[in-house]
Amino acid sequence: MNSILRIALALPLLALAACNATIGERMGESLTVVRGFQISEHVIPATVFANAKGIAILRETNAALLVGGSGGEGIFMKKIGLTWSAPIAINTAGASIGLQVGGQKRDIVIFMNTETEVANFLDDGVYALAEASAVAGPAKTDPMNAGGPVPSSYYYIRSKGLFGGLLVGGVYFTVDNKINRETYGENATVGEILSDKLPKPQGATILTQALDGN
């Protein structure tokens, strides 16, 4: 195996290893991301929040020189009734080989619009959304879907300081069990956390209110 390929395969692991932010820090970053969209020209409609069954909010950094690597962290929350569950920690990582120089940051919000989409993620603890199949969510100024089929997920992205655009390279994230255990206890399960059977961390109410449009 050549050296470049070894580095490429190691990059996702290194990126994940660097994702050590606490739930509190991740909630703060997620709040910044959501508020950023809501004061931009690409405002996320309240109906998208209301109809979603789950939401993932991620901040991702791509850094590269010949071999590209990306790493990021965030949270996932599940809809419970009319509001949102406690957050679980998630991480994203990937690698690519090619002539790349410099770094790029992107904020990503993914709305899972069906119970099946949420269940598939929670069953495996892994979620992948390919660029080819990703559907950009509507902006507040866009005409909303009138009776047509709703995609299984929507994405919103800010890249290079600009809101909107393509989800280049797609997105892939996994549950961060280490951070979740540190937050909710060694025996806490993802199911218990997302069912609100455990106390929510401090600051969760502020994030929930932002997702509810308050």
pLDDT of residue 170: 84
Question: Can you tell me the mean pLDDT for 160-177?
Answer: 84
Dihedral (CA of 154, 159, 164, 169) sign: negative
Contacts of 186 (CB under 8 A, 6+ apart): none
CA dist list (Å): 52 to 13, 155, 180 = 31, 12, 23
| Cα 93 from Cα 8, distance rounded (Å) | 11
DSSP 102-113: EEEEEEEEEEE-
Question: Can you tell me the mean pLDDT for 191-196?
Answer: 96
Residue 91 burial by Cβ neighbours in a 10 Å radius (0-12, 13-18, 19+)? buried
Question: For the packed helices 23-38 and 204-211, what is the interaxial angle rounded to 10 degrees?
Answer: 20
| pLDDT value at 15 more than 60 | no
| pLDDT value at 16 more than 60 | no
| Cα 22 from Cα 46, distance rounded (Å) | 28
- For residue range 21-76, what is the model confidence (pLDDT) as tens digits? 999 999 999 999 999 999 988 899 999 999 999 999 999 876 544 444 457 899 99
pLDDT of residue 19: 58
Question: Can you tell me the mean pLDDT for 82-101?
Answer: 72
Are 112 and 84 in contact, with CB atoms under 8 Å apart?
A: no
pLDDT of residue 102: 46
Question: Can you tell me the mean pLDDT for 192-205?
Answer: 94
| pLDDT value at 194 more than 90 | yes
Whole-model pTM: value is 0.83
pLDDT of residue 207: 96
